[in-house]
Amino acid sequence: MAKQLLGKEVVAALNERIIAKAEALKANGVTPTLGIVRVGENESDLSYERGATKRCETLGVACEKILLPEDVSQEELLATIDKVNKDDSIHGVLIFRPLPKHLDQAVIENALAAEKDVDCMTDLSMSGVYTGKKIGFPPCTPQACMEILDHYGIDCTGKKAVVLMLDDLGDAEETSENTAWIYDTDFEFLNDDSITQVICSGVRRTDYKVRLLLAGVPEEKITCVEKESDAANEVDLDKADTIFFLYDVYTTSYAAISKNTISDRMAERSAKQ
């Protein structure tokens, strides 16, 4: 029988832990600080920045913003990254991507020190993921999944269905905007025998499917749904003990609808048994 794992309770517990850790650090003279490096005025970046800033304020974490013009040179951006690498008062850094086309994104990503790479974008950070070594930070989406599982004490054995609801703000069918992150993200963790179904929903559903195929996920496990609001109806409850919804801040409302849909389907099925 499928079981809902709601994030609200997990977020509250995480907030409590993080706030306590931040206060303990401040008591010892250390103010935990996130550095944000933004190039230009991309609306998706601005929206993400507002969310990150608000989150930092809630948790008692300082946020230092380094804002650069759209036409910044590669040399100036690399010098900026070198500066934050050497700044001991900045403990983690977000560099918003994709970067303008005149910049070499791979070079810039790997210029950031792995121990400050909270977005897991450097090669060193990814090597830590695959070797199990504590190098940098893990990717946020799978780490969030693990936090949820740990909170509920869930044993990862058993059959699982995964629903992807990850469309970003401003996505459109006719553009290629904001797709680079899909190929930077570790979709390989979804190539697991215990995962019986992966449902890709939204504008980028075909991009997700391609990335899943590249990750080795069998095509017969992948279902594409045009609307996020319809994704929950495609979950095969007979093939899943646990259902995971992986969603972005922009698709929170769709995730809530989907969770309610799963609850209704489960209740209806139980009533018939």
User: What pLDDT sits at residue 176?
Assistant: 54
Amino acid identity, position 123 = D
Nearest to 197 by CA among 241, 157, 230: 241
Q: Tokens at residue 9, please?
A: 């309770």
In this structure, the chain runs to a length of 273
User: What pLDDT sits at residue 256?
Assistant: 86
Run of H or E including 35: strand 33-39
User: What pLDDT sits at residue 94?
Assistant: 95
Prediction pTM value: 0.61
User: What pLDDT sits at residue 159?
Assistant: 85
d(CA 264, CA 49): 36
Could you tell me the mean pLDDT of each successive run of 10 residues in the chain, 273 residues long?
73 94 96 97 92 95 97 97 97 94 94 94 83 81 82 78 76 60 82 92 90 94 90 89 82 85 86 76
* Prior bond of 142 cis (ω within 30°): no
User: What pLDDT sits at residue 118?
Assistant: 93
The burial of 189, by beta-carbon neighbours within 10 Å (0-12 exposed, 13-18 middle, 19 or more buried), is given as middle
Run of H or E including 94: strand 92-95
Antiparallel, parallel or unpaired: β 242-247 and 222-225: unpaired
User: What pLDDT sits at residue 219?
Assistant: 95
User: What pLDDT sits at residue 3?
Assistant: 62
Nearest to 59 by CA among 36, 35, 33, 37: 33
- Distance from first CA to last CA of the chain, Å, rounded? 12
User: What pLDDT sits at residue 36?
Assistant: 97
